């Protein structure tokens, strides 16, 4: 069974490209374009991992994260943040929140894949 990853980003280009990259690495992909959709799909589809953009309209990534961690069905899903806005304050906040990882845009595919594997506990 391939692992199921939910990718959330409000930039369609980025969403499409991350999905293609992960599919090429044998992951099953679901996508979401904002925070509301992430929460809905996380509850419905129970992915093994979520890749979450931070700056999104409406419910942003941090907000979505907090909601997912508060919800019983989704609390244990590891979440990797991805952002084009890597300020130090944000980085601290992410570590404080207890995310499974952090990737800054533009990302290197090897780095993203390595962090996904680690979060999923894959060798």
Partner 1 sequence: MEFEKKENNQKDIVKKLELDTIQTKEELRKTKDELQLQMWGLAKTNEAIRVLYKELEKKNKELEKLDQLKSDFINSVSHELRTPLTSIREVISQILDGILGETNQQQREFLNICLADVDRLRRIIDDLLDISKLEAGKLKLSRADADIVGLAKRVISTFQAEFKSAGLEIKENFPQEKAVAYVDQDRIIQVFINLIGNAFKFTEKGYVDVSVIDWPGFVECSVADTGIGIGEEDLPKLFGKFQQFNRKDPGRIKGTGLGLSISKNIIELHRGQIEVESKLDKGTKFTFTLPKYNPQELYKEHIIEGIQKASSDKGYLSVSVFGIKNLSQIAKNIDNEKLHSATEGIINVIKKNLRFGEDLVIKDTHTVMIVLPGVEKQKAAEISQRIYQAIKDFLTQRKIELDVFNEVVSFPQDGDSQEKICDKLSSISGT
Interface with partner 1 (CB under 8 A): 11, 13-14, 17-18, 20-21, 24, 55, 84-85, 87-88, 91-92, 95-96, 104-109
- Report in angstroms how near the CB of residue 101 gets to partner 1 at its nearest: 14
DSSP structure class, residue 2: P
- Report in angstroms how near the CB of residue 119 gets to partner 1 at its nearest: 18
Torsion of CA 61, 16, 85, 88, to 10 degrees: 70
Q: Which residue lies nearer to partner 1 by CB, 1 or 24?
A: 24
Q: Which residue lies nearer to partner 1 by CB, 14 or 59?
A: 14
Burial of 36 (C-beta count, 10 Å sphere; 0-12/13-18/19+):
middle
CB 67 within 8 A of CB 50: no
- Report in angstroms how near the CB of residue 15 gets to partner 1 at its nearest: 10
Q: Which residue lies nearer to partner 1 by CB, 17 or 114?
A: 17
Q: Considering only CA atoms, which of 86, 24, 80, 90 is closest in space to residue 51?
A: 80
Q: Which residue lies nearer to partner 1 by CB, 38 or 99?
A: 99
CA distance 43 to 20: 23
- Report in angstroms how near the CB of residue 72 gets to partner 1 at its nearest: 24
């Amino acid at each position: 069974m391939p692992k199921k990853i939910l990718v959330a980003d409000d930039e369609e280009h980025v969403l499409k490209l991350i999905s293609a990259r992960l599919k090429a690495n044998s992951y099953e992909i679901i996508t979401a374009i904002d925070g509301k959709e992430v929460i809905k799909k996380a509850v419905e589809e129970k992915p093994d991992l979520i890749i979450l953009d931070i700056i999104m309209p409406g419910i942003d990534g941090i907000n979505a994260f907090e909601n997912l961690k508060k919800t019983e069905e989704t609390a244990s899903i590891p979440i990797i943040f991805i952002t084009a806005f890597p300020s130090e304050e944000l980085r601290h906040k992410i570590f404080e929140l207890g995310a499974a990882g952090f990737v800054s845009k533009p990302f290197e595919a090897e780095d993203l894949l390595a962090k996904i594997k680690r979060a999923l506990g894959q060798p």
